[in-house]
Amino acid sequence: MEKNSLTGWQKVFSFTLIQTIKTPAMIVTTVFLFGVALLMLPVTSLLSADGESPVKDSTTIQRLVLLDETPLGLKDWLDIRDMDYEGALPEEIQFSEEDYDTLVERLTEEAEEDWALIQISFEESQGFSVMGVYGTNTNVSKEDLRIVTELIMENLRDQMVEQLGIAQEQVDYINHEVEQKISYYRTGVEGEEPAIVDQEDEEQEGSLSPVEYSLVLMCLVLVTIMISMSGEQVAAAVIQEKSSKVVEYLLISVKPLALMVGKILAIFVITLGQLLLMLLGFAASIGIYLLMNPGMMLSAADILTQMTGEAGDQLGAVSLSLNIPTLIVAFLLILAGTLFYSTIAALAGACVSRLEEMTESMKLFSVIMVVGAYAGLAVVMGDMVGEAPAALSYTVELLPVTAPFLTPGYLLLDRCPLWVGLATVLLFIAAQALLFMFSANVYETLIYHKGNPLKLKDLLRINKEARGAKE
């Protein structure tokens, strides 16, 4: 590769950056991504709040009749007015000694009264049941009756615990699951003291918890989205310039490699900017969520619960490695992976002459990316159910094709040694240098190519001919 092969890449970078940012498609995509991040928490909050009882300042139920069909004597201690609800409740609440059929018959006859019935029963096979009944010939609304029945369901257990005189801590102990473990006394291991070993823990050592799995999966998905977006934009930019013959004018003043590097870096900066905007939108989303829920403190565990549905309180048990060297290496791996795949996408885009052929040209790029992402996912799932083979883990963590999808997340979870991350960065540098050398040999020929889409074997042939010509 000549020393001046990269001369002029800055001009290409500036030109591509400005022209791409100005396109309507780029503006719409960026606004859409920002909007999705901005509305993420507020929308999930609204959806999760759909089942909550609304607070109403009036009710259509004037009289509420409660029928206790449990052996607990609810009449002596169940108090609806003492439940945590700030809305309006029926003016009259009373227990009835009549049977269910008699009360239902009265509901159909007494049209002049706006009253409703709530039956509380218990069956060993199904547990407690709270059923509301109202007459269709009265003004009682179904929504008002639903609010009261849900209020009883949510507070029945708490009032029962209070009536029995049991402390909440004791209830929490009772509700804990009972686990069975089998241990053995290990002796005779060289270099280790005799100890009692939990066999299941030993078998599952190194496995991912559900929260760790969610965090790694989120990282893998974000990296995949970033690589995919950057690759598609690079390929589209190359094809558009080829079809408009702009590239022919650019090649007058710059070398083909400088043209490709400038274009890739420009699209990479745009993709990184979109990612930063998404993070800014997500930060604003947290602010909107807090405004919707005054007085609420939103922790990382709460955010994790909103996004993944996992138990956010388990986040404290996750071992995170957020020191500066680890963060820098993880960030470098994401950048290197995006640059590596963007170079492949640029070569794929240069293999065709029209934008309509982009899908065909990007097949190889998509296959390589999917294989890399699924290889990372295979290691993650292997660690989720037990422990993935060490040879497979190290291979996926080190290979440039697969490393961007797995290694950054594993570094942050302290499941991958820092030296592996550093070794992966060095391998990326070597692989990128080889890819640039290959690109320097074939890119100019590809830029001037018009006709049928070129295949991988055609690229290898062009590279071989270019190397032979130089020798």
155-188: pLDDT as tens digits: 888 887 777 777 767 767 666 666 656 555 555 5
pLDDT tens for 230-281 read 888 888 887 877 777 666 666 667 777 787 788 888 888 888 888 889 889 8
- Average confidence (pLDDT) over 410-422: 87
Q: Cα–Cα distance between 133 and 367 in angstroms, integer?
A: 59
Confidence (pLDDT) at 251: 63
pLDDT tens for 69-124 read 888 888 888 888 888 777 788 888 999 888 888 888 887 776 556 888 899 988 87
Confidence (pLDDT) at 311: 46
Q: In this model, does residue 198 exceed pLDDT 60?
A: no
Q: In this model, does residue 340 exceed pLDDT 80?
A: yes
Q: What percent of the chain has pLDDT over 70?
A: 77
- Average confidence (pLDDT) over 368-386: 88
Question: 3-state DSSP call for residue 328?
Answer: helix
* pLDDT grade for 372, boundaries at 50, 70 and 90: very high
Question: 3-state DSSP call for residue 129?
Answer: strand
pLDDT tens for 284-333 read 888 887 777 665 555 555 555 555 554 444 444 455 666 788 889 988 99
Nearest Cα to 212, choosing from 116, 310, 318, 114?
318
Which one is predicted more confidently, 166 or 341?
341
Confidence (pLDDT) at 204: 46
Q: How much helix, strand and coil, in percent to the nearest 5, is found in the chain?
A: 65, 10, 25
The helix (run of H) or strand (run of E) holding residue 89 is none
Confidence (pLDDT) at 416: 85
- Average confidence (pLDDT) over 124-138: 83
Six token digits for residue 163: 């009536």
Confidence (pLDDT) at 459: 79
Confidence (pLDDT) at 313: 47
Report strand pairing: 115-123 vs 127-134: antiparallel
Q: Cα–Cα distance between 471 and 463 in angstroms, integer?
A: 13
Confidence (pLDDT) at 186: 58
Domain spans of the chain, in order of start: 3-42+206-470, 63-164
Confidence (pLDDT) at 174: 64
Confidence (pLDDT) at 333: 92
Q: Cα–Cα distance between 436 and 449 in angstroms, integer?
A: 19
* pLDDT grade for 370, boundaries at 50, 70 and 90: very high
Instruction: Tell me which range, 3-12, 78-87, 428-437, is most confidently predicted by mean pLDDT.
Output: 428-437
Question: 3-state DSSP call for residue 414?
Answer: coil
Nearest Cα to 353, choosing from 448, 438, 231?
448
Six token digits for residue 106: 């009265």
Q: Cα–Cα distance between 270 and 248 in angstroms, integer?
A: 24
Architecture of domain 63-164: 3-Layer(aba) Sandwich (3.40)
- Average confidence (pLDDT) over 136-152: 84
Question: 3-state DSSP call for residue 132?
Answer: strand
Which one is predicted more confidently, 13 or 189?
13
pLDDT tens for 41-63 read 788 767 655 545 456 678 888 88
Six token digits for residue 11: 């001009």
Inter-axis angle of helices 210-244 and 256-292, nearest 10: 140
Q: In this model, does residue 146 exceed pLDDT 80?
A: yes
Confidence (pLDDT) at 374: 93
Confidence (pLDDT) at 341: 92
Q: Cα–Cα distance between 139 and 342 in angstroms, integer?
A: 66
Nearest Cα to 300, choosing from 376, 199, 403, 214?
214
CB 42 within 8 A of CB 36: no
Direct distance between the N- and C-terminal alpha carbons of the chain, in angstroms, rounded to an integer: 12
Confidence (pLDDT) at 205: 47
Six token digits for residue 408: 């950054």
Which one is predicted more confidently, 266 or 193?
266
Q: In this model, does residue 425 exceed pLDDT 90?
A: yes
Six token digits for residue 42: 């507020």
* pLDDT grade for 191, boundaries at 50, 70 and 90: low
